[in-house]
Chain A
Amino acid sequence: MRKLIAAILLGLFVAAPVGATGPFQPIAPQQTAIGTNVIYTGKNLVNLSVVSSTNANQWIMIFDGTTLPGDGATAPCSTAHTTGCLAWCEYAAGSNATTTPWTYSKDFGVHPLAFQFGIVVTVSTTLCTTKTITGSTNFFYGQVY
């Protein structure tokens, strides 16, 4: 009987596929920040979540650069790629003005956004063509590599 139990236990260990146990592991480091913006050290953005304590309508702006551009007109990224250009801009509604906080979440996992200089994320109260930074109450969560 002991031999039978030992054989069964041994079989379970041998048959278990490598990596089939344990929780799912994210494929990219997680970086969080609280404030007006976040600057990620990676060059590829896989996932992004932004939480704001205000329920105003806002715009998520993602720049290809290493510092936060100043307020004012934005310059879209193109073939003549320069640091600080606007790589992504998306409208995020203020939860229909009924709930707080306001939350934005985007999964770039299928085709990660690739950056040449760095990843700078911020929130603007004005349209993609013009950046007007919001207050310091945003929470950023990103997966980058």
Chain B
Amino acid sequence: MANEAQVKTSRYRAGVQTIGDGQIGLAGASVTATLLGAPGVRVFLTDITISGDLVANAVSGVATITGLDEPWNLVFVETVSAGGMFNHHYDPPLRASVDGGNVVANVPAIVNGGIVAINLHGYRG
């Protein structure tokens, strides 16, 4: 198993860039994080983390990821549970639909108050 983990890690080592960032939304506000594309290169999404206010135990909402290649280019939906966090690893990574295009994750409204941060992790290829 250790060898498998090393192989998997090394596959993404070359050219990997952390191009996501943390964004903050307060109660009812929209939260957006973007993997920025660049001319001539394509963005790949490897991970998304959405964390929220666990103490209040009140954060809920829907995250949508757009800008991805088929079949994810229209809508990808996850619910931020009452626990306030979810993580996804994409293996293989999800590819942006066009060269230079952005991948955008958005929580349009945070229900019941609380605080949310979105981290997108990916690389350009």
Contact surface of A with B, Cβ cutoff 8 Å: 19, 24-25, 27, 44, 46, 57, 59, 61, 64, 76-79, 81, 86-94, 96-97, 109-116, 127-129
Which B43-59 residues have a C-beta within 8 angstroms of A? 46-47, 49, 51-55
Could you say which residues of chain B place their CB within 8 Å of the CB of A44?
13, 16
CB <8 Å contact, A91 and B19: no
Closest 7 CB pairs between A and B? A89-B22, A76-B21, A93-B54, A128-B22, A114-B16, A91-B51, A111-B46
Q: Looking across the interface, which residue of chain B has its beta carbon closest to that of A111? A: B46
Q: A89-B117, A90-B51, A91-B115 are in contact. Are A76 and B22 (CB under 8 A)?
A: yes
Q: Kindly list chain A residues whose C-beta atoms are within 8 Å of the C-beta of B17.
A: 81, 114, 116
Q: Do B12 and A112 have beta carbons less than 8 Å apart? A: yes
Q: How many residues of B contact A (CB 8 A)?
A: 37
Provide the main secondary structure of the chain B interface. mixed
| Contact A112-B115, Cβ < 8 Å, known A90-B22, A90-B49 | no
| A-B pairs with beta carbons under 8 Å apart, 14 shown | A77-B18, A86-B21, A86-B22, A88-B20, A90-B22, A90-B51, A91-B116, A110-B89, A110-B91, A111-B46, A112-B9, A114-B16, A128-B24, A129-B24
With an 8 A cutoff between CB atoms, is B42 at the interface?
no
B-side interface residues toward A, CB under 8 Å? 2-3, 5-6, 8-9, 12-13, 16-24, 36, 38, 46-47, 49, 51-55, 84-85, 89, 91, 115-117, 119, 121, 123
Question: How far does the alpha carbon of A71 sit from the alpha carbon of B8 in the complex, in Å?
Answer: 37
- Chain B residues closer than 8 Å to A46, beta-carbon distance: 9
